[in-house]
């Protein structure tokens, strides 16, 4: 008989039992630690019960292990033992991808392929290598209710979602990505848990009434018992980085991590990642999604608490917002401020934050803090043209390129990929995928499913949406959101894919110091009702034309009135071209040309 030590933190419990087997047929009493720290333990032969176990606290129904590595029967069932040390890794020579060389591709495992698994996603890694990205960012894979979902309602933070392939599937995917030369980041949610299958509150004070988030109870980071709660999150981060060899984490909505301690949880997480990097020699990257527009998020930590939080990167949504308004003309809600003529020149020319101490009319207050790019490197800011949030949180999940001409889509790609910020693509963007990406769930509780349906309908009705909102619980919503890979070689899609490849290969092969940081960005009318945007950086120049009529011919732009080049070194064009025998560019309506300088 092989007995294994099993532990549970339940500081307020008077009695805890280990429940063995998927059917819970056997029970063994657990013993409280003598130091009063709230840990209960017992040595048991879990393997004899097919590796399944759960806990009963004070005679309550069995609940999964808060640190369960696998929930093969769903988040409401017994946990399963997993030996992550037994994964057959082959990436011993993997050196990693430092963030300054990152070009990120965000994907959702369940809709990236028809099969919706890690193994099926791994079969498409060659496409990403050829595309020219260097990092794959997986949307959350921590176990969540049902089969289908975005993953932001996860409730078993240590378990890998079984329908995707479970722990072994994730390990195989990361191993295959490293073999292909791609780093893997994972999106994790530490600010709240989903409403269905959340059993943590039965074990201990994981949540607090002192703070709230828009999505549920706030995690207890600074109240009584919070030392163990923080350890729970720090150990989770270490598990992803070490046991699964992940290269980084994207931390969801860190502005909702309410922590009043002198040392914020984010600072502890950054220190942990840096320690793993130093010990292994493989870069480990933490990127925050933050609504604060505060460069202190990625400013370096200093002695005695000086400096910032020390994270390695953060999303810069203002770049997305400015590009979205420029290309689509939509200017409602939080987009309103970005209709300012100065928005695009600012976020492409000098700073990733349009709101850097300026009035945000949507918030009704001043927002943000200035960025000093001599202190904080531009590649620490992750910018995008489309993300899962900005697409999936629209009423019907329509992508940006569904409502604009293909040439305008190409303009957005060129403006993003020639900027100094770290670019992030959303799956399918690179070929102008026809599929939407909609909000979907798979809750078994009808009251919860109906609440979500009604909530989304009401939300979009408030914003003037009069059409139907897809039912998140309908399997057809998932099917509609699944990429159609046959499109890759079809007319229209293939040309966009080639354009993206050209820009990403140029970016990959051109060091940041050659590409340049700040740029001269000029917007001016083209004389036919359209607009010409010119961007000049030390190593690259871009000319884009939005709208207009007929063809215009413009000289290759130079900085500070410099001399015209003798020839033109083309990076990419869609569908503009270089005039034969002259340093001039020909642009029709909605076209763009990118040249080396």
Same domain, 251 and 327: yes
Same domain, 375 and 293: yes
Same domain, 79 and 103: no
- Say if CB 218 and CB 206 are below 8 A apart: no
pLDDT digits (tens, 9 = 90+) for 293-322: 999 999 988 776 567 999 999 999 999 999
Dump the DSSP string for 482-551: S--GGGGGSTTHHHHHHHHHHHHHHHHHS-HHHH-SS-EEEEEE-SSS-EEEEEEETTEEEEEEES-SS-
Structural domain contains residue 492? no
26-29: strand order across its sheet: 26-29, 16-20, 52-57, 79-80
Same domain, 131 and 242: yes
CATH number of the domain residue 514 falls in: 2.60.40
CATH number of the domain residue 383 falls in: 3.20.20.80
Same domain, 79 and 104: no
Distance (Å, rounded) from C-alpha 348 to C-alpha 383? 10
What pLDDT shows up at residue 561? 52
For residue 580, pLDDT over 60 is answered with no
Domain that holds residue 525: 507-596
Same domain, 28 and 162: no
Structural domain contains residue 494? no
Structural domain contains residue 264? yes
245-256: average pLDDT: 97
pLDDT digits (tens, 9 = 90+) for 42-80: 999 999 999 999 999 999 999 999 999 999 999 999 999
State whether residue 417 is helix, strand or coil: helix
Least confident window among 172-186, 489-503, 557-571: 557-571
Give the residue numbers annotated as catalytic, written as ranges: 252, 289
pLDDT cut 90: percent of the chain above it: 84
What pLDDT shows up at residue 180? 98
| Of 86, 115, 147, the domain-final residue | 86
Same domain, 553 and 576: yes
- Say if CB 559 and CB 520 are below 8 A apart: yes
| Of 469, 484, 499, the domain-final residue | 484
Helix (H) or strand (E) holding 16: strand 16-20
What pLDDT shows up at residue 461? 73
486-513: average pLDDT: 96
Handedness of CA 338, 342, 347, 351 (dihedral sign): negative
For residue 201, pLDDT over 60 is answered with yes
What pLDDT shows up at residue 472? 93
What pLDDT shows up at residue 468? 86
Tell me the whole-structure pTM to 2 decimals: 0.96
Task: Please give the structure tokens belonging to residue 411.
Answer: 């303009």
Same domain, 26 and 107: no
pLDDT digits (tens, 9 = 90+) for 468-484: 889 999 999 999 999 99
Q: Are strands 52-57 and 16-20 parallel, antiparallel or unpaired?
A: antiparallel
For residue 578, pLDDT over 80 is answered with no
Distance (Å, rounded) from C-alpha 201 to C-alpha 517? 48
The torsion angles phi and psi of 561, rounded to 5 degrees, stand at 70, 25
Structural domain contains residue 93? no
What pLDDT shows up at residue 3? 86
Structural domain contains residue 218? yes
Same domain, 461 and 518: no
pLDDT digits (tens, 9 = 90+) for 537-571: 999 999 999 999 999 988 888 755 555 555 578 89
- Say if CB 420 and CB 512 are below 8 A apart: yes
For residue 411, pLDDT over 70 is answered with yes
Structural domain contains residue 580? yes
Structural domain contains residue 498? no
159-174: average pLDDT: 98
| Of 484, 519, 535, the domain-final residue | 484
CA-wise closest residue to 318 among 373, 370, 266? 370
Same domain, 536 and 433: no
What pLDDT shows up at residue 463? 67
Residues 6 or more apart whose CB falls under 8 angstroms from that of 368 comprise 292, 293, 294, 353, 355, 356, 357, 358, 360
What pLDDT shows up at residue 551? 92
What pLDDT shows up at residue 216? 79
What pLDDT shows up at residue 344? 98
Same domain, 252 and 301: yes
State whether residue 419 is helix, strand or coil: coil
Q: How many domains does the chain have?
A: 3
Confidence of residue 467 (pLDDT cuts 50, 70, 90): confident
What pLDDT shows up at residue 205? 95
Confidence of residue 577 (pLDDT cuts 50, 70, 90): low
CA-wise closest residue to 241 among 291, 194, 289, 275? 275
Range 287-304 burial, b when 16+ CB lie within 10 A, else e: bbbbebbbbebbbebeee
441-464: average pLDDT: 85
Same domain, 297 and 164: yes
CATH number of the domain residue 19 falls in: 2.60.40.10
Structural domain contains residue 500? no
For residue 122, pLDDT over 60 is answered with yes
For residue 105, pLDDT over 70 is answered with yes
Residues 6 or more apart whose CB falls under 8 angstroms from that of 461 comprise none
Average pLDDT, the chain: 93
């Amino acid at each position: 008989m092989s007995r294994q030590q099993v532990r549970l933190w339940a500081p307020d419990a008077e009695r805890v039992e280990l429940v063995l087997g998927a059917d819970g047929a056997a029970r063994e009493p657990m013993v409280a630690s003598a130091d009063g720290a709230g840990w209960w333990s017992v040595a048991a032969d879990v393997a004899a019960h097919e590796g399944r176990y759960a806990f009963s606290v004070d005679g309550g129904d069995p609940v999964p292990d808060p640190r369960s590595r696998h929930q093969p029967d769903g988040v409401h069932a017994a946990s399963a033992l997993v030996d992550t040390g037994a994964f057959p890794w082959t990436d011993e020579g993997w050196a990693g991808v430092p963030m300054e060389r990152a070009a990120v591709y965000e994907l959702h495992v369940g809709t990236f392929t028809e099969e919706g698994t890690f193994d099926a996603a791994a079969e498409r890694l060659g496409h990403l290598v050829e595309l020219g990205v260097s990092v794959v960012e997986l949307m959350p894979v921590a176990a969540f209710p049902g089969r289908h979902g975005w993953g932001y309602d996860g409730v078993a933070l240590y378990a890998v979602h079984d329908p995707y392939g479970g722990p072994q599937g994730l390990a195989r995917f990361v191993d295959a990505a490293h073999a292909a030369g791609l780093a893997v980041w994972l999106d994790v949610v530490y600010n709240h848990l989903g409403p269905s299958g959340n059993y943590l509150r039965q074990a201990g004070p994981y949540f607090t009434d002192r703070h709230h988030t828009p999505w549920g109870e706030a995690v207890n980071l600074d109240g009584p018992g919070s030392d163990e709660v923080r350890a729970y999150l720090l150990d989770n981060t270490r598990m992803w980085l070490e046991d699964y060899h992940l290269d980084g984490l994207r931390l969801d909505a860190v502005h909702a991590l309410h922590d009043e301690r002198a040392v914020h949880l984010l600072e502890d997480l950054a220190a942990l990642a840096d320690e793993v990097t130093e010990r292994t020699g493989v870069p480990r990257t933490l990127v925050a999604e933050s609504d604060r527009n505060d460069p202190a998020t990625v400013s370096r930590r200093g002695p005695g608490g000086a400096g910032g939080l020390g994270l390695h990167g953060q999303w810069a949504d203002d770049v997305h917002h400015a590009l979205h308004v420029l290309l689509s003309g939509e200017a409602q809600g939080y987009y309103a401020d970005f209709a300012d003529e100065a928005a695009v020149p600012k976020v492409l020319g000098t700073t990733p934050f349009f709101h850097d101490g300026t009035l945000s009319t949507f918030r009704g207050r001043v927002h943000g803090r200035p960025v000093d790019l001599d202190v904080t490197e531009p590649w620490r800011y992750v910018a995008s043209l489309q993300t899962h949030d900005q697409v999936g949180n629209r009423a019907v999940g329509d992508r940006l390129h569904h409502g604009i001409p293909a040439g305008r889509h190409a303009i957005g790609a060129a403006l993003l990929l020639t900027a100094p910020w770290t670019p992030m693509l959303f799956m399918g963007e690179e070929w102008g995928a026809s599929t939407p990406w909609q909000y979907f769930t798979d809750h078994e509780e009808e009251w919860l499913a109906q609440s979500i349906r009604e909530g989304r309908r009401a939300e979009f009705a408030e914003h003037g949406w009069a059409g139907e909102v897809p039912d998140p619980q309908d399997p057809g919503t998932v099917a509609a959101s699944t990429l159609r890979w046959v499109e890759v070689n079809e007319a229209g899609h293939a040309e966009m894919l080639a354009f993206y490849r050209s820009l990403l290969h140029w970016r990959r092969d051109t060091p940041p110091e050659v590409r340049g940081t700040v740029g001269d960005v000029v917007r001016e009318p083209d004389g036919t009702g359209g607009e010409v945007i010119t961007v000049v950086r030390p190593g690259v120049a871009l000319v884009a034309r939005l709208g207009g009529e007929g063809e215009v011919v413009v000289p290759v732009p130079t900085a500070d009135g410099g001399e015209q080049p003798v020839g033109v070194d083309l990076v990419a064009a869609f569908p503009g071209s270089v005039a034969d025998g002259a340093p001039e560019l020909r642009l029709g309506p909605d076209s763009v040309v990118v040249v080396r300088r």
